Amino acid sequence: MAETATHTDHAADHGHHSSTGLSNNKLAMWLFLGSECLLFGGLISTYMLYRGRVQDGPHPSQIYDIPFTSVSSFVLLMSSLTMVLAVTSAQRNDDNRTNLWLTVTALLGATFVGGQVYEFTTFYREGLGFTTSLFSSSFYSLTGFHGVHVSVGVIMLLSTMGIIKRNRITGNKSEVVELVGLYWHFVDIVWIVIFTLIYLIPS
Amino acid sequence: MSTEPQTQSHEHGMSDAGYIKIALILAAITALEVSTYYVDFGPLFMPSLMIMMVVKFVMVVSYFMHLKFDSKIFSFLFYTGLGLALFVYIVALATFKFFIA
């Protein structure tokens, strides 16, 4: 009986584990991220097919602001560093530093999303609406989907901070932060691909 | 009782200093990527950009996402999805004669 109780406590501390000895939550997150590759793969290849179909609208090289997008990319890249520092802080049970790094990550993510809103607004004023051309539709769909993912990530970061502060996490706290981190790094690697294929390689 | 220093790796992964080094390398590669927009790399333009993109991708996945230190099952799940996506969409692009154009 005591042995069963100890086993249950251990499971609560380290999350539910599968027969492989691995966390079910982490397995599910990696499976989800693998499936997300298919989603973004579809959006990226659609853009690659249609990037030359500008009809009467502006051409990609006429509207892309590479210096601005480079700064945005750098901001998102650095948010991956602050996220991994939040994970290591959580593994050391340092709640204050975990919340600090989560806050910085959320701020960097919000800066990136703000930059994307600014970019979309500028493009729209320059005549690139969602239905202007096949290029514009595929561009806004791809970068918009990515922006939504970053926004969801920011909400996840803020929610994680909230539940850490209220001590509402049951089970392994560091694993919860790590799972949010995996999602966050994923939106970063998607942007690494988007930045190169969409912005830096001319059509 | 653990005598592990605060900056050392905990369950798995690297020290904080190690992660900062990785981030600096990633920032340097990004700067190099951006430089291809301003400097003419000639025939090396496309291959160099693709190599830098793949290096950055693998570094983030391996170090920041801990795949290098974690169970191989996680790597299998992720790279299977990625490989499937690459295969399906390269075939789709080839169907539309993307690579010929």
ipTM value for the complex: 0.86
pLDDT one-digit tens code per residue, A41-53: 999 999 999 988 8
Shared domain check, B64 and B32: yes
Residue A1 in contact with residue B51, Cβ under 8 Å? no
- Chain A residue numbers with beta carbons less than 8 Å from the beta carbon of B63 are 84
| Distance (Å) from the alpha carbon of B58 to chain A's nearest alpha carbon | 9
Q: Is B9 contained in some domain?
A: no
pLDDT one-digit tens code per residue, A85-127: 999 999 998 889 999 999 999 999 999 999 999 999 999 999 8
Q: Is B4 contained in some domain?
A: no
Shared domain check, B62 and B83: no
Q: Does B87 touch chain A (CB under 8 A)?
A: no
User: Which tops the pLDDT comparison, A90 or A22?
Assistant: A90
Q: Does B93 touch chain A (CB under 8 A)?
A: yes
The label of the residue with tokens 């009809």 reads A55
- Chain A residue numbers with beta carbons less than 8 Å from the beta carbon of B60 are 80, 185, 188-189, 192
Shared domain check, B87 and B43: no
Residue A105 in contact with residue A86, Cβ under 8 Å? yes
With CB atoms and an 8 Å threshold, state whether B57 touches A189.
yes
The mean per-residue pLDDT over the stretch A27-49 comes to 93
With CB atoms and an 8 Å threshold, state whether A38 touches B84.
yes
Is the pLDDT at A15 greater than 60? The verdict is: no
The whole-number pLDDT of residue B35 equals: 93
| Distance (Å) from the alpha carbon of B34 to chain A's nearest alpha carbon | 7
Shared domain check, B64 and B49: yes
Q: List Cα–Cα distances, B46 to A156, A200, A202, B37, B49, in angstroms.
A: 36, 10, 10, 11, 5
The whole-number pLDDT of residue A143 equals: 96
The whole-number pLDDT of residue A192 equals: 96
Q: Which pTM does this prediction carry?
A: 0.87
With CB atoms and an 8 Å threshold, state whether B34 touches A189.
no
Nearest residue in A to B80, CA atom: A34
> Domain of B96?
71-100
The mean per-residue pLDDT over the stretch A40-66 comes to 89
Shared domain check, B64 and B22: yes
CA-based nearest residue to A45, from B47, B52, B88? B88
| Distance (Å) from the alpha carbon of B35 to chain A's nearest alpha carbon | 10
Shared domain check, B35 and B51: yes
What's the CA gap between A126 and A128, in Å, rounded? 6
What's the CA gap between B101 and B95, in Å, rounded? 12
Shared domain check, B96 and B61: no
Q: Is B90 contained in some domain?
A: yes
Q: Is B49 contained in some domain?
A: yes
Residue A108 in contact with residue A79, Cβ under 8 Å? yes
Shared domain check, B92 and B63: no
User: Which tops the pLDDT comparison, A58 or A77?
Assistant: A77
Shared domain check, B84 and B43: no
pLDDT one-digit tens code per residue, B61-101: 999 999 998 889 999 989 998 999 999 999 998 988 888 76
In chain A the domains, ranked by start, together with CATH numbers, are 36-200 (1.20.120.80)
Query: Among partner residues B33, B65, B88, which is closest to A185 by beta-carbon distance?
Result: B65
| Distance (Å) from the alpha carbon of B95 to chain A's nearest alpha carbon | 11
The mean per-residue pLDDT over the stretch A157-169 comes to 88
Indicate the number of domains in chain B. Answer: 2
Residue A173: pLDDT band (50, 70, 90) is confident
| Of the candidate ranges A80-84, A178-182, A199-203, B14-18, the one whose mean pLDDT is the lowest | A199-203
Shared domain check, B83 and B56: no
Shared domain check, B61 and B19: yes
Residue A23: pLDDT band (50, 70, 90) is confident
Q: Does B26 touch chain A (CB under 8 A)?
A: yes
Shared domain check, B59 and B35: yes
Mean predicted lDDT score pLDDT of chain B? 85
Query: What are the two backbone dihedrals, phi and then psi, of residue A23, each rounded to the nearest 5 degrees?
Result: -70, 130
Q: Is B6 contained in some domain?
A: no
With CB atoms and an 8 Å threshold, state whether B16 touches A197.
no
